[in-house]
Structure 1
Amino acid sequence: MRWKVGNVTITKVVELETVGHTRFILPLAGREDILQLPWLVPHFATEDGRLKMSIHALVVETPTRRIVVDTGLGNDKQGRTIPTWNNRRGPFLDDLAAAGFPPDSIDTVLCTHLHVDHVGWNTRLAEGRWIPTFGNARYLFGRAEYAYWRDHSAEPDKAAIFRDSVAPIVEAGQADLVDGDAEICEEITLIPTPGHSPGHVSLHIRSAGEEGLLTGDVAHHPCQMAHLDWSSTADSDPAQSAQTRRELFSRFADRPVLVIGGHFDAGHIKRDGEAFKFAAVDR
């Protein structure tokens, strides 16, 4: 799936898709509540109120850069709290290459934050060692995000994620720490969007008079645009995440900005009373 923002092309490469089974991450999103949001159907929910979500990477091609934004779950990982996320043997790298992006062609990897489902393919297992998957890339980690997880990964699952998917990049000398408002290239600037994690960032794309926004996990699903207070169970600061949603969506609502989520497809944000709704773009 591909979208254009001026001279920038964004390609979604899916690792995992799910319909329903999302209450563990959005416990307030009951079916009856979802059925009150008919604009979610069919792109973001089923007619019976089950949410559609995906774990995916976004490959962003600018005139000068080839960037992978977030890297999913990865294969062969251990110590994940969700059993099916352990010891995966998925075809993600083959799918990435089939889409035209062999790993060696990537020059930049940018993680919006360092949660388990956004860093997994940072590394791959080779002869018993975790090595960078994208051997020619610089990996960009938010400075505040990296510092937080470096110092707050005592819990076994958090320690495993940092140990197998973040630390090996630093040890290989391929990591660059960037500020939350850093300019990545001429077309892409970061926006600090804390709440889901302490140093979470989103990407603002501007090219040839057009704009795009890659939200990361500011919202896991468009239903959170209508219910700004529906914070995720993974949010480090639920009150901050709700405030960030309101501020970010207010900034980009009712403008022709292509918005793509960390777990949902593209659309445009529209004001709807005191909150917002999301209008899907044609696939």
Structure 2
Amino acid sequence: MHEIKLGDVTVTRVEEMHGPIMAPGAFFPELPADAWQEHRDLLVPDHLGADDLVHAAMQTWLLRSEGRTILVDTGVGNDKTRPSVPMWDHLDRDFLDRLATAGVRPEDVDLVVNTHLHADHVGWNTRLVDGQWVPTFPNATYLMPRADYQPRTAGDAFEDSVVPIHESGQARFWEDAYVIDANLRLEAAPGHTPGSAVIKLSSGDDRALFAGDLLHTPLQLLHPEHNSCFCEDPAAARVSRRRLLGWAADAGALVLPAHFSGHSAFEVAHRGDAFAVTEWAAFPRY
């Protein structure tokens, strides 16, 4: 089952796709090359393939909390023009069918949370209908970090996956922190982008951290000082990563990053000035 229960919240993993992304040295230019070899047992095959490329997943966390259906991040999306990332260009994936298998139709979604506004987190915000980009989830409020709501480069996700949500009146912008319900709270985690955020879950005895792009590989637990090449403010990203992984370790929280393949989520502990996986989640491996 791609579903677990955390207190009163049901968490379902809905995959868009997974596989090789890019070479380690390109993805994490500051990480020592020998670290990838030293920790192959931790990384291979789920996070580093036999092809010596970093592997990752595009996935959505589907939450059912207090009677509402909530999506955390929406992947790359279909039909999007992404010439700078050929593997994302004009996709034709069965994501909505997978969502239906989890028991959710687009009209059932009450809330969409974009942890930040990069292209691989907002793609299914919209879909192409008669040549127009329209909200995929017509009854949902879309929570977006205000700090990320700004035009970036021409042809990126802003125009096709973010602006139509604003124009439809479905966007709600927030800053610093936002209480979703009694179980879920958004918290700013700047660095990867100015508005990057995480969701903290606290329900019964369970704690969880929906970590967005706080980290992209388990190697960043052992080397939390190192960022991906996509972190826009490296210093702030380091601070956010250490702070939130420290919270997760202290709280016994399950960490659910946006892009981990394999079991996708893990529990973490302090290891000196770094961190380590203590147990992987009960999700089956991709």
Give TM-score scaled by structure 1 length: 0.91
- Runs of 5+ unmatched residues, structure 1: none
Moved more, 232-241 or 23-32: 23-32
> Relative to 1, partners in 2 of residues 1:243 and 1:14: Cα closer, same or farther, differing over 3 Å?
same
Q: Which residue of 1 aligns with 2:101?
A: 98
1:178 maps onto 2:174 in alignment: yes
| 1:145 Cα deviation from its structure 2 partner | 2.0
Q: Which residue of 2 aligns with 1:269?
A: 268
Aligned pairs for 1:127-276 within 5 A: 127-146=130-149, 149-150=150-151, 153=152, 155-157=153-155, 160-264=156-260, 265-276=264-275
What residue identity is the alignment partner of 1:9?
Answer: T
Q: Secondary structure at the match of 2:38?
A: coil
Could you tell me whether the CA contact under 8 Å between 2:143 and 2:172 is conserved in 1? Answer: yes
> Relative to 1, partners in 2 of residues 1:20 and 1:129: Cα closer, same or farther, differing over 3 Å?
closer
Could you tell me whether the CA contact under 8 Å between 1:44 and 1:53 is conserved in 2? Answer: yes
| 1:208 Cα deviation from its structure 2 partner | 1.5
1:118 maps onto 2:121 in alignment: yes
What is the CA–CA distance in structure 2 between the aligned matches of 1:80 and 1:185, rounded to whole Å? Answer: 39
What is the CA–CA distance in structure 1 between the aligned matches of 2:121 and 2:21, rounded to whole Å? Answer: 20
Could you tell me whether the CA contact under 8 Å between 2:190 and 2:240 is conserved in 1? Answer: yes
What is the CA–CA distance in structure 2 between the aligned matches of 1:111 and 1:119, rounded to whole Å? Answer: 6
Moved more, 64-73 or 253-262: 253-262
| 1:198 Cα deviation from its structure 2 partner | 0.1
Moved more, 68-77 or 16-25: 16-25
Q: Secondary structure at the match of 2:215?
A: coil
Could you tell me whether the CA contact under 8 Å between 1:35 and 1:47 is conserved in 2? Answer: no
Could you tell me whether the CA contact under 8 Å between 1:60 and 1:68 is conserved in 2? Answer: yes
| 1:281 Cα deviation from its structure 2 partner | 2.5
What is the CA–CA distance in structure 2 between the aligned matches of 1:125 and 1:239, rounded to whole Å? Answer: 38
Could you tell me whether the CA contact under 8 Å between 2:200 and 2:207 is conserved in 1? Answer: yes
Give the superposed CA RMSD: 2.0
What is the CA–CA distance in structure 2 between the aligned matches of 1:20 and 1:195, rounded to whole Å? Answer: 21
Could you tell me whether the CA contact under 8 Å between 2:248 and 2:254 is conserved in 1? Answer: no
Q: How many residues align?
A: 276
Give the fraction of aligned pairs with identical amino acids, expressed as a percent. 37
What is the CA–CA distance in structure 1 between the aligned matches of 2:28 and 2:65, rounded to whole Å? Answer: 34
Following superposition, which runs of at least 4 residues in structure 1 exceed 2 angstroms of deviation? Answer: 19-32, 34-52
What is the CA–CA distance in structure 1 between the aligned matches of 2:203 and 2:102, rounded to whole Å? Answer: 23
| 1:115 Cα deviation from its structure 2 partner | 0.1
What is the CA–CA distance in structure 2 between the aligned matches of 1:46 and 1:127, rounded to whole Å? Answer: 40
| 1:255 Cα deviation from its structure 2 partner | 3.7
Could you tell me whether the CA contact under 8 Å between 1:70 and 1:118 is conserved in 2? Answer: yes
Q: Which residue of 2 aligns with 1:34?
A: 36
Q: Which residue of 1 aligns with 2:7?
A: 6
Could you tell me whether the CA contact under 8 Å between 1:31 and 1:50 is conserved in 2? Answer: no
Q: Secondary structure at the match of 2:90?
A: coil
Q: Which residue of 1 aligns with 2:66?
A: 63
Q: Secondary structure at the match of 2:13?
A: strand
Q: Secondary structure at the match of 1:282?
A: coil
What residue identity is the alignment partner of 1:3?
Answer: I
| 1:69 Cα deviation from its structure 2 partner | 0.5
What residue identity is the alignment partner of 1:17?
Answer: H
| 1:75 Cα deviation from its structure 2 partner | 0.5
Could you tell me whether the CA contact under 8 Å between 1:79 and 1:156 is conserved in 2? Answer: no
| 1:39 Cα deviation from its structure 2 partner | 3.6
What is the CA–CA distance in structure 1 between the aligned matches of 2:75 and 2:132, rounded to whole Å? Answer: 19
What is the CA–CA distance in structure 1 between the aligned matches of 2:78 and 2:46, rounded to whole Å? Answer: 28
Could you tell me whether the CA contact under 8 Å between 1:122 and 1:166 is conserved in 2? Answer: yes
What is the CA–CA distance in structure 2 between the aligned matches of 1:173 and 1:222, rounded to whole Å? Answer: 38
- Listed one character per residue, the Cα deviations across residues 86-119 of structure 1 (whole Å, up to 9, x for unaligned) are 1111111111111211111111000000001000
